[in-house]
Amino acid sequence: MHSENLDSEIFANLQQQQEILLWRYATETGSFKKKMIGARMLLSKLKGSLMASFYSAAQVNDIRNRNLANAVMTARSLSPWQTVKRTFAMERTIRKWEQAKAANDFTIVQDELQSLVDSIRIEARSKAAMMGVDEPYDALLRSRTQGLSTAYFDWLTERLPTFCYIVRKQARSLQAPAYPQGIFEDKALDQDKLERMVLQTIGYDLDRGRVAQALHPLCMGMHDDVRIGVRASKDFTTTILTAGHEGGHGTYRQNLPVLHNRLDSGLAGVGMDEAMALIMENHVVRDKSFADFIAKTLREDFNMAASAEITGDMLHRHMKHIKDAPIRTEADEIRYPLDVILRYRIERQLINGEMEVADIPEYWRSEYRKLTGIEIKTDNEGPLQDIHWFAGEFGWFPNYLVGQMAAAQLFEVASDDMPFLKHYLAKGNVAPLRNWLHDKIYSQGATQAINNLVQSATGAPIGPIAYMRHIGRRYTRRDESALKMGG
């Protein structure tokens, strides 16, 4: 006889343990320590696999709590032996990815990634059978964020490419010339201090979490043990945006409720986790009012040679400048959905067996040119730029797009509810927004699916219209064009 609350407690503890181990792996530099952390990750995943094996297929279908059902299905999707193979494959692939990235050569990691993809195809087919869905990739999406599916993403991606392409072209014609290279670079700037300042301003509690440098930014853990990996950049505005994004993750995760059913105390799916990060990155940090606060802080609290010359207007203009650098994490808000759409198309074909790993680089170059008009010159500009696939995280990228839409929708309603919100942001006071999010989102944990939470907070399910209005206001100075294109 299973106790759902007890089993939820066990799976929640395993999830927390695995997230913290992944953060340690991403921020560790020593190869021996990485191997030891990998071994601990394997043991933790094996515990989950053994726990899930006590559930029969019929018992999985009888689980009342959807979060527990998802955790059990995920753990049951691979046998203990397949779990061992998957974990070793993931560790090898991440190590090879680091080598490939250093050499700017996708072929170095190609074979290892193919082995990992083969393992994930088994998992996806198993999940599809348990969920009763036809498409393996659809099963992965549904397990990431409750209530989302390939049908929804197809609907969303049908409308966005044309809108983004047209509005981006219009925004480029309206924007002022870029600032001279180097104006936002300062070798004397203490970027660790800058990152922590942004994190704390967003609401991340450093006493309940940790921060370290990582090859790829990330945020792991929940409640009183949330850990962030950040990456300093030559252009310090990129450092600020990265800290804002990860700080959004961290603040959400630290403020989740502690409920009787522990799995209900978690994230409302990957999509909501991304929405909470993007609302801080795009709607707080990129905002002109918050840029004024950052400029003032740089002048008063940082030993920056050029800080006296940098204004909030300059920061804001630079952070929203449309540029053709093809790195997703450095993309402007208009191109970002196109970067996600490309990854969605690739991983869907990969998991469904319609594409092999060796096909990725050429497909990436061709499709990215069609979507954005940008030429990809190197593997680091293409499929090597993100760690996700090499860590086995398929079905993750589409949630970034859902998160971007949800963030715009939530911030639009929050701004209507708080007419003086921009005034608070200009003083570096994010607490009013944070309190609003706590009431509508943070405090609900995983008790509802993302669409239900957003509809409850805004009066409408997640869609692209608020995002289109936001882009129209910020980049074209006209709401009408965005609304017309939104249909």
> Is there a single domain that holds both residue 210 and residue 241?
yes
Reading the block at residue 5, the tokens are 């609350």
Task: For 294, list phi and psi in degrees, rounded to 5.
Answer: -60, -45
What CATH number does the domain containing 254 carry?
1.10.1370.30
Cβ distance 447 to 141 under 8 Å? no
3-class secondary structure, 19: helix
Residue in the structure block whose two tokens are 């104006």: 183
> Is there a single domain that holds both residue 413 and residue 347?
yes
Q: How far apart are the first and last CA of the chain?
A: 53
The last residue of one of the domains, among 77, 96, 131, is 131
> Is there a single domain that holds both residue 48 and residue 97?
yes
> What span, in angstroms and rounded, lies between the C-alpha atoms of 371 and 21?
37
Predicted TM-score (pTM) of this structure? 0.92
The distance from CA 166 to its chain's CA centroid, rounded to whole angstroms, is 25
H-type helices in 63-145, by residue range? 66-76, 80-103, 107-131, 136-144
The last residue of one of the domains, among 74, 100, 131, is 131
Alpha-carbon dihedral sign for residues 154, 158, 161, 164: negative
Judge whether 470 lies within some domain.
yes
3-class secondary structure, 220: strand
> Is there a single domain that holds both residue 157 and residue 229?
yes
> Is there a single domain that holds both residue 169 and residue 240?
yes
> What span, in angstroms and rounded, lies between the C-alpha atoms of 162 and 174?
19
Residue in the structure block whose two tokens are 């979060």: 67
Tens place of pLDDT for every residue, the chain, 487 residues?
Answer: 567 888 899 999 999 999 999 899 889 888 888 889 988 988 998 888 888 888 887 787 778 787 888 888 888 888 888 888 888 898 899 999 999 999 999 999 999 999 999 999 999 999 999 889 999 999 999 988 888 899 999 988 888 999 999 999 999 888 888 888 788 988 888 999 999 999 999 999 999 999 999 988 999 999 999 999 998 888 999 999 999 999 999 999 999 999 878 888 899 999 999 999 999 999 999 999 999 999 999 988 886 655 557 899 999 999 999 988 899 988 899 999 999 999 999 999 999 999 999 999 999 999 999 999 999 999 999 999 999 999 999 999 999 999 999 999 999 999 999 999 999 999 999 999 999 999 999 999 999 999 999 999 999 999 999 999 999 999 987 433 333 333 3
Cβ distance 310 to 298 under 8 Å? yes
Reading the block at residue 360, the tokens are 């990725």
Dihedral of the alpha carbons of 32, 37, 43, 48, in degrees to the nearest 10: -160
> What span, in angstroms and rounded, lies between the C-alpha atoms of 222 and 244?
18
DSSP label of 284: I
> Is there a single domain that holds both residue 342 and residue 421?
yes
Task: Provide the β-strand partners of residue 228.
Answer: 211, 219
> Is there a single domain that holds both residue 122 and residue 217?
no
> Is there a single domain that holds both residue 293 and residue 432?
yes
Judge whether 82 lies within some domain.
yes
The last residue of one of the domains, among 131, 163, 193, is 131
Judge whether 139 lies within some domain.
no
> Is there a single domain that holds both residue 421 and residue 279?
yes
3-class secondary structure, 221: strand
Judge whether 143 lies within some domain.
no
Q: Which of 183, 160, 224, 186 is nearest to 465 (CA)?
A: 160
Judge whether 207 lies within some domain.
yes
Q: How far is CA 395 from CA 121, 122, 157, 383, 399, in A?
A: 12, 14, 15, 16, 8
Q: Which of 456, 401, 462 is nearest to 274 (CA)?
A: 401
Judge whether 146 lies within some domain.
no
> Is there a single domain that holds both residue 123 and residue 263?
no
> What span, in angstroms and rounded, lies between the C-alpha atoms of 222 and 347?
28
Q: How far is CA 408 from CA 6, 188, 421, in A?
A: 37, 35, 15
Judge whether 137 lies within some domain.
no
Q: Which of 284, 229, 275, 283 is nearest to 252 (CA)?
A: 275
> What span, in angstroms and rounded, lies between the C-alpha atoms of 368 and 125?
29
> Is there a single domain that holds both residue 158 and residue 126?
no
Query: Residue 344 contacts by C-beta under 8 Å, 6 or more apart in sequence?
Result: 153, 157, 397, 398, 401
> What span, in angstroms and rounded, lies between the C-alpha atoms of 336 and 161?
10
Q: Which of 326, 342, 353 is nearest to 153 (CA)?
A: 342
Neighbouring C-alpha atoms within 13 Å toward the C-beta of 225 = 11
Antiparallel, parallel or unpaired: β 218-222 and 209-213: unpaired
Cβ distance 100 to 380 under 8 Å? no
Q: So what's the pLDDT on residue 2?
A: 64
> What span, in angstroms and rounded, lies between the C-alpha atoms of 22 and 461?
33
Cβ distance 136 to 121 under 8 Å? yes
Q: So what's the pLDDT on residue 485?
A: 36
> Is there a single domain that holds both residue 86 and residue 164?
no
Judge whether 64 lies within some domain.
yes
H-type helices in 233-325, by residue range? 236-254, 269-280, 288-301, 312-319
Cβ distance 38 to 58 under 8 Å? no
3-class secondary structure, 178: coil
Query: Residue 391 contacts by C-beta under 8 Å, 6 or more apart in sequence?
Result: 22, 90, 93, 94
> What span, in angstroms and rounded, lies between the C-alpha atoms of 156 and 237?
30
Domain of 82, in residue numbers: 4-131
Tally the domains of the chain: 2
Reading the block at residue 20, the tokens are 């913290």
